[in-house]
Structures are given as structure tokens and as C-alpha cells.
Structure 1
Amino acid sequence: MAELRMTELLSAFLDEYRIRPWNPGVDVDCCLFLAEWAMVIGHPDPAAHLRGTYSDEAGFREIIIQAGGAVAIVEGCTATINAKRVQQPAPGDIGVIGSPTNIFRQFGAIFDGERWLVRYENSIGPLAATSLAIWRL
């Protein structure tokens, strides 16, 4: 029953979030996608320290470089809400997917029960990629 509720809540979140305009560093980008989802399910903002620190791709890339990749960024954010690292995703779990060696090809993603979804500039869609880290919120 809890999984069904999570799936319904996630579906409603995705419907609302996909139509929001791209707004990097404020509320709509590929990594803040995860933080917004965490807040929807009742957590405090795990990315509050990142909001307002960048406003474009170049600024975000600088943060990625300083952190050493998206896994480190999301790890820091999830630690603030006591998210649990897991090996296999369940609906509503968040993760970082992509290249283990190219930090500019790592993406924040949410698992919908079938696949990983990422926020693109103009939509939300699936991305088939290697799971680098997974957290249960």
C-alpha cells in the first residue's frame, strides 16, 4: 500500500514539475529536481545551501568540479535529511546515474518503479544509464 501511495504522489509531482520553466539554481534543474521531490514527501530542503549559488550551466559546472561530481553533491544533500543509501531502487528513490568517469555526464534522477527519470531543460523523461548511487528518502 505504501508503494502505491508513493507511486501516486510521484506521478502528481512529475505532472506538476514537468511544466515548470527551467530555472537553474532556484528550483528547476537536474539536481534540484531531487530536492524538490524530497520536500514534496515531507523533508526540509536538502539543497538549501545550493540555491542561489548558480544561475546557469557554467555556474553549475563549477559546483560539480569543486565537489568532484554529482554523487558527492547529492550525498551531501541527502545526509541533511538522513536518507538511506540502498543498492536497488524502489519507486520514489533518488539517484545519480550516468558516467562514473565523466562528472559532466552524471544526472540526478528519480526512479518511477520502472526506470530512472531526469529533468531536461524542457521536460522530464527517462534516461537509460548506470546507477552510480541510490538513496531512499
Structure 2
Amino acid sequence: MATPFDRAAGADCAMWVADWVKAETGTDPAAALRGTYASAFGAARQIARFGGYEIMWRVCMAVAGFNTTRDPQNGDVGVVIDAAGNTVSAIRFDGQWAAKSEGGVVIEDFRMLVAWSLSRG
């Protein structure tokens, strides 16, 4: 959480959540994305390659074997719309969503677009 937002270092909202998933499950949903960008332009290019941010996450999480959920629990992950209207990835925490932003980690009741359960079984 304390690592500053830095795309070049792999510390943006996408990789922050992917790191969480990997730490919790041993599976890296962003393995195909790591090292493919180091700037906002590079990230935008990768997102466009998939056809959008939400689609990118849907593909990565499906390939990694995670199932969507309509009732995310603490520790599950999702794609949400933040207060500024941006589509970002986040971690479910106490009925809200934690998302990494350039100003730090923000925890709010963001609007969920899609979520995945990290439980396997």
C-alpha cells in the first residue's frame, strides 16, 4: 500500500491488484502484461490491445482461472468506477473497494462493474 504509484515500477492500479491476487493465490493474472509498459501511453496501448480496461481484466482473470461473483467478499477483486469516473481495478475491503491512485490508496463504495472470487473450491 505504501509503494508510490509508478507505472515504470509496476505499481499502478492494475499491477497493485494483480500483486494482491498473486500473493493470495499464487496465480498471477497479469503475467502476460508485466513489463509490457512503463508509462501512461504504454498502459493505454496495452488496454487498447484488449479492447478496454474491463475486457482486459476479464480476459486475464479468466485465463488465470478465476470466476466472476456478484457478491464479492473481503479480499476479492474487481473493476470499478472511481469517484473521478475512471475505470480501475480494486480489492474488496469491509464492504467497500480499495484502489491505488496517484495520491495513494483510496477506499470508497465505488460502483462495481465486475468482480472475481479468489476462493478456489
Q: Same fold (TM over 0.5)?
A: yes
Bigger fraction of residues in strand: 2
What does the per-residue CA deviation read over 1:2-59, in whole Å, with 9 as the maximum and x for residues that have no partner? xxxxxxxxxxxxxxxx211333154311111121011111322221111111111111
- What one-letter code is carried by the residue in structure 2 that aligns with 1:58? F
What root-mean-square deviation, in Å, do the aligned CA atoms of Structure 1 and Structure 2 show?
1.9
Q: Name the SS of the counterpart of 2:25 in structure 1.
A: coil
Relative to structure 2, which stretch is displaced further, 87-96 or 24-33?
A: 24-33
Give yes or no for contact 1:69–1:106 (8 Å, CA) kept in 2. Answer: no
User: TM (normalized to structure 1)?
Assistant: 0.75
Could you list the runs of 5+ residues in structure 2 that have no partner in the other structure? none
- Following the alignment from structure 2 to structure 1, what is the Cα–Cα distance between the partners of residues 102 and 46? 18
- Following the alignment from structure 1 to structure 2, what is the Cα–Cα distance between the partners of residues 43 and 81? 10
Judging changes above 3 Å, is the alpha-carbon distance between structure 1 residues 127 and 70 closer, same or farther for their aligned structure 2 residues? farther
Matches within 5 A, 1:1-137: 18-24=1-7, 26-98=9-81, 105-137=86-118
Relative to structure 2, which stretch is displaced further, 27-36 or 63-72?
A: 63-72
Bigger fraction of residues in helix: 1
Count of aligned pairs between the two proteins: 116
Could you list the runs of 5+ residues in structure 1 that have no partner in the other structure? 1-17
- Following the alignment from structure 1 to structure 2, what is the Cα–Cα distance between the partners of residues 91 and 43? 18
User: TM (normalized to structure 2)?
Assistant: 0.84
